């Protein structure tokens, strides 16, 4: 089936699923109950044509995913705060409602700090580490490749390090549940725990694959974009991050809707990297993911539409083939007639050859029979001659006997 368009992410003890301008967060609370919250998230791409332009829409989607991700992660974490903190939150609930702008500002600051830290760790630090080899390596392309390799190692090392934390490991398990649920829908299966369990925990549209594409494209970009001034080189790396993110988004978007072998090969490294960020979920985690997606997506209607679309496509293809068969050109018809005439002539020649061969064999048989008859006739004549000769000898013997007796 085609891409469902559903996206999502794992949160603390839960899963967030997004479908167009709606999202839902399902969290399993400490008492074991699943709570589901639904929200709206109208994208800038729906408000302006400019933000729907290729690459730009990727930057917008990246920023919006950070905002929604932080918001939903904070929401899920609120269920696991200490009781005293919960009581304080209840007392300040009215104040929060009056100061919604403050919460928005805090979210913006948190995102900004996260981006700055990520830039320092995965953009600036790899550059300086690669420059330590600049005295021995003169090739800019080689240094850019080394910088990219360091960036990959830092990212992989970071993921491996945090995966030892119990909360993060469980979040990776919910990440696997999110992927399995989406794969189950897009493979046309009913959304049940058993069906979801059998699905792959990897997905082409995953954010992990997106980050790998960003790292890979940064190597290519920085191979060809160079400044002599060190600060300009650093600034170029920071400024180009949104552009690289936008191009990476376009690739991920295309990969999620393509079945070509080339795309499959290019997506392989990102899919392999998901082995670090996804783990096999348990049944309870899958139940949470199903609850989240069912809140904002009618998978049964999606199945019906996909089946109808496949039938319509098959019927259209059949009609095209039938129409193509009826609309043969004169040259095609003449060629078909000529081909059939050649086949008929070949068959006639083959029949004539077989008849001639049969006649030749019959003539040979007649010749053999005639020779056999002649040989038989000669043998009979010789036998008669021999019999006559023996009769004459007997008569001459009798004559000789009687002659002697008379004497």
The DSSP result for 135-204, as a single string, is: TT---HHHHHHHHHHHHHHHHHHHHHHHTTSHHHHHHHHHHHHHHHHHHHHHTT----HHHHHTS-S--T
Residue 91 has pLDDT above 60, yes or no: no
Three-class DSSP category at 206: coil
The yes-or-no verdict on residue 213 having pLDDT over 80 is yes
- List Cα–Cα distances, 26 to 4, 31, 282, in angstroms: 19, 14, 15
| Mean pLDDT score of the chain | 84
pLDDT at 289 over 90: yes
The answer to the question of residue 212 being in a domain is yes
Cβ neighbours of residue 51 closer than 8 Å, sequence gap 6 or more? 43, 44, 45, 57, 60
Q: Which domain holds residue 31?
A: 7-80+100-296
Q: Is the pLDDT of residue 111 over 90?
A: no
* Residue 340, domain member (yes or no): no
User: pLDDT tier at 98 (50, 70, 90 boundaries)?
Assistant: very low
**pLDDT, tens only, 120-179:** 888 889 999 998 988 888 888 899 889 989 998 999 999 999 999 999 999 999 999 999
* CA–CA distances in Å: residue 250 to residues 1, 67, 224, 361: 21, 20, 21, 77
Q: What is the pLDDT of residue 134?
A: 84
- Here the contacts of 189-197 (C-beta below 8 Å, separation 24 or greater) are 191/290, 191/293, 191/294, 191/299, 193/283, 193/286, 193/287, 193/290, 196/286, 196/289, 196/290, 197/283, 197/286
Q: Which residues of 329-367 are buried (b: 16+ CB within 10 A; e: fewer)?
A: eeeeeeeeeeeeeeeeeeeeeeeeeeeeeeeeeeeeeee
- The predicted-structure confidence for 361-399, as pLDDT tens digits, reads as follows 888 888 888 888 888 888 888 888 777 777 666 667 666
Read off the pLDDT of residues 43-71 as tens digits, 9 standing for 90 and up.
Answer: 888 888 898 888 899 889 888 888 898 88
* Distance in angstroms between the alpha carbons of the first and the last residue of the chain: 132
Q: Which pLDDT score is estimated for 80?
A: 80
86 located within any domain: no
Q: Domain for residue 188, yes or no?
A: yes
- The CA-atom distances, in angstroms, between 49 and each of 40, 43, 53 are 20, 12, 7
The reply to whether 345 falls in a domain is no
pLDDT digits 0-9 by tens, 174-193: 999 999 999 999 998 999 99
**What are the φ and ψ backbone dihedral angles of 16, each rounded to 5 degrees?**
-105, 130
Q: How far apart are CA 125 and CA 121, in angstroms?
A: 5
Spatial distance between the Cα atoms of 156 and 154, rounded to a whole number of angstroms: 6
Q: Examine the pLDDT at 281 and tell me if it is beyond 90.
A: yes
- Mark 248-283 as b/e (b = at least 16 C-beta within 10 Å): bbebbbebbeeeeeebeebbeebbebbebbbbebee
Of 80-94, 268-282, 298-312, minimum mean pLDDT range: 80-94
Residue 61 domain-assigned (yes or no): yes
Candidates 46, 42, 6, 48; CA nearest to 21 is 42
Whether 383 is in a domain gets the answer no
For the four alpha carbons of 323, 326, 332 and 337, in that order, the dihedral sign comes to positive
CB 71 within 8 A of CB 41: no
The number of domains in the chain is 1
Find the angle CA(118)-CA(82)-CA(74) to the nearest 5 degrees: 35
| 223 band by pLDDT with thresholds 50, 70 and 90 | confident
Distances (CA, A) of 343 to 156, 312, 338, 340, 349: 67, 39, 9, 5, 10
| Mean pLDDT of the 211-234 span | 86
- In this prediction the pTM is 0.70
**Lowest-confidence pick of 80-84, 282-286, 329-333:** 80-84
Going across the sheet that includes 7-11, the strands are 7-11, 14-19, 22-28, 34-40
pLDDT of residue 317: 83
Pick the residue with more confidence: 263 or 168? 168
Domain assignment present for 95: no
Asked if pLDDT for residue 15 goes beyond 50, the answer is: yes
Per the CB < 8 A criterion, the answer to whether 33 and 224 are in contact is no
């Amino acid at each position: 089936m085609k891409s469902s368009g559903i996206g999502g992410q794992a949160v603390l003890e839960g899963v967030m699923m997004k479908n167009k301008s709606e999202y839902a967060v399902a969290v399993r609370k400490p008492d074991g109950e699943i709570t589901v919250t639904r929200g709206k998230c109208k994208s800038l791409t729906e408000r302006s044509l400019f933000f729907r332009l290729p690459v730009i829409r990727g930057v917008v989607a990246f920023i919006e995913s950070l905002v929604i991700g932080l918001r939903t992660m904070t929401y899920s974490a609120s269920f696991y705060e200490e009781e005293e903190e919960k009581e304080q939150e209840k007392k300040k609930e009215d104040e929060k409602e009056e100061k919604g702008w403050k919460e928005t500002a805090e979210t913006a600051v948190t995102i900004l700090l996260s981006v700055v830290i990520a830039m320092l760790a995965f953009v600036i630090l790899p550059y300086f580490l690669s420059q330590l080899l600049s005295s021995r390596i003169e090739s800019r392309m080689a240094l850019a490749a080394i910088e990219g390799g360091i960036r990959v190692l830092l990212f992989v090392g970071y993921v491996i390090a945090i995966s030892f934390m119990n909360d993060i490991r469980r979040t990776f398990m919910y990440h696997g549940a999110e992927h399995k649920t989406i794969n189950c829908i897009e493979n046309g299966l009913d959304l049940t725990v058993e069906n979801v369990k059998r699905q792959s925990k990897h997905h082409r549209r995953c954010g992990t694959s997106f980050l790998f594409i960003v790292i890979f494209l940064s190597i290519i970009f920085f191979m060809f974009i160079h400044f002599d001034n060190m600060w300009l080189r650093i600034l170029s790396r920071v400024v180009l991050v949104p552009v690289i993110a936008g191009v990476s988004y376009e690739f991920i978007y295309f990969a999620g809707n393509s079945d070509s072998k080339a795309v499959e090969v290019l997506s392989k490294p990102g899919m392999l990297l998901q082995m670090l960020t996804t783990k096999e979920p348990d049944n309870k985690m899958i139940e949470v993911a199903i609850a989240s997606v069912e809140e904002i997506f009618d998978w049964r209607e999606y199945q019906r539409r996909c089946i109808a679309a496949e039938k319509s496509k098959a019927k259209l293809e059949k009609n095209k083939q039938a129409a193509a068969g009826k609309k043969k050109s004169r040259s095609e018809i003449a060629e078909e007639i000529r081909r059939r005439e050649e086949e008929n002539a070949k068959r006639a020649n083959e029949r004539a050859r077989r008849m001639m061969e049969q006649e030749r064999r019959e003539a040979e048989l007649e010749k053999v029979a005639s020779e056999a008859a002649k040989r038989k006739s000669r043998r009979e004549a010789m036998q008669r001659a021999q019999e006559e000769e023996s009769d004459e000898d007997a008569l001459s013997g009798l004559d000789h006997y009687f002659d002697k007796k008379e004497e």
